[in-house]
Structure 1
């Protein structure tokens, strides 16, 4: 039920993001989802890729600082209030969302959102109890 996410720490300067995507492209690693957060001096690029180990290896070989985080990919109804419903399940049990970002997929009925929770196991349990679809990592890497 967990998805491996790569976090890459980048200097906040022109060309660094292009360099990451070039390195991954040359290694035939496909990016499935991404998020970029920045400050004045650095950024954190969060990636879901189709081959975590290969991406980690080639990025490190090119001098990037790489970390691993476990996240959860959840199917959310693509309608007004769909995300609010999922977030209320978590809020009712005091599970905090540390961050989230959308996953692009060709679907008209549901959205897939990547979540990082302060209590991953509890969040998964609560969402499963409410019938929320949680994707396995292998499913996400192939989408």
Structure 2
């Protein structure tokens, strides 16, 4: 299923990540997965939260540049080779993966892989046609 991901563009300065996480924690928003890409001057924090709409509004109200993006969440067994199998499917079907990151779900021994692809509907169809469980939240 489609998951709402939050992307936050922020200066690469000391304490900025602490500011974001404290703001969300203070509102009772739980982070389920996250990834940071940075350069010397700025970074992009991508995250999945349990209340994405509220999180984006809080961030914007606090002066952060934040937006929501549709991504795919795939639940896979936490064992070697599962990611390779998904990558091979996308290569074979010609769907480009722009980026990905993952979160482990230890209660069920599953990993949830978050994918941003160039054609989200094609990506969902490929996964569902091959028996993968897509996850709207975790």
TM-score, length-normalised on structure 2? 0.94
User: Number of residues paired by the alignment?
Assistant: 138
Structure 1 counterpart of 2:10 = 10
Map Cα deviations across residues 108-135 of structure 1 (whole Å, 9 max, x no partner).
Answer: 6431111100111101001111101111
Q: Deviations over 1:37-69 (max 9, x none)?
A: 101110000111111111111111110000111
C-alpha distance in structure 1 between counterparts of 2:107 and 2:126, whole Å? 25
Q: Where does structure 1 differ by over 3 angstroms across 4 or more consecutive aligned residues?
A: none
SS state at 2:105 partner: coil
Report if aligned partners of 2:3, 2:72 keep a CA contact under 8 Å in 1. Answer: yes
What is the aligned partner in structure 2 of residue 85 from structure 1?
Answer: 85
Task: Structure 2 unaligned segments of length 5 or more: list them.
Answer: none
For 1:113, the equivalent position in structure 2 comes to: 113
Unaligned runs of 5+ in 1: none
2:29 maps to 29
| Partner Cα distance (1:35, 1:42) in 2 | 14
Q: Is 1:51 the counterpart of 2:61 in the alignment?
A: no
Report the TM-score, using the length of structure 1 for normalisation: 0.91
Distance change >3 Å, CA 70–CA 23, structure 1 → 2: same
Separation (CA, whole Å) in 2 of partners of 1:18 and 1:117: 29
CA distance in 1, matches of 2:13, 2:70: 27
Are the aligned partners of 1:76 and 1:86 in contact in 2 as well (CA < 8 Å)? no
